[in-house]
Amino acid sequence: DISGIVYQPDGRPADGARVFFQGAHFRFTVDDDQFVSHTDYPFAVQTDTPRDGSFHIPKIDGVDWVEIVHSEGWASIPINNPPGASIALQPWARISGAVQSSSGDTTGLRVTATSASNPPDQFTFCFTTHTDGNGRFHDLKAPSGPVTVTIDANDGSTNRLIQTTNVESGESYHLGFRL
């Protein structure tokens, strides 16, 4: 079994953090609101931390990483180096940007940040936002590592803009796109 206390990047207990396992045969996708999809793995083990940030989760065979996600940060911890009594979350990288278009219509475009690759120490993720009336998007989050940001046109076409970049925890990034 693995247990500990999860702390937000600012040192406060992480109430509502999602704790789960990853492994060669246990790959899950984290999306908005820290939902961990596991429809292919109904036997998945996960738990949410209470107000004090504590967790206790039974270890299962075939897992390589303890993963933790929270609105304020994330952690990936190798199972062969189990977490100690306390785990400090890394802050999310924050991505913002702007979309320009010759047609001028950049309102409500879907903007998605996804895993650009699947290194063993990074969970798979898919976070989404939309552009505002000026074609800007803000506060798209991602863990450290390679991230693909995709802009989908809202004109019914299959037009897409894609950029891949490396991000670091706690850093802010600004991307520009042209339709």
Q: List Cα–Cα distances, 75 to 95, 131, 138, in angstroms.
A: 19, 28, 23
**pLDDT tens profile 127-178:** 899 999 999 999 899 998 899 999 987 766 667 889 999 999 999 999 999 8
**pLDDT tens profile 77-86:** 887 766 567 8
For residue 114, which phi and psi values (nearest 5 degrees)? -135, 165
Per-residue confidence (pLDDT) for residue 78, from 0 to 100:
82
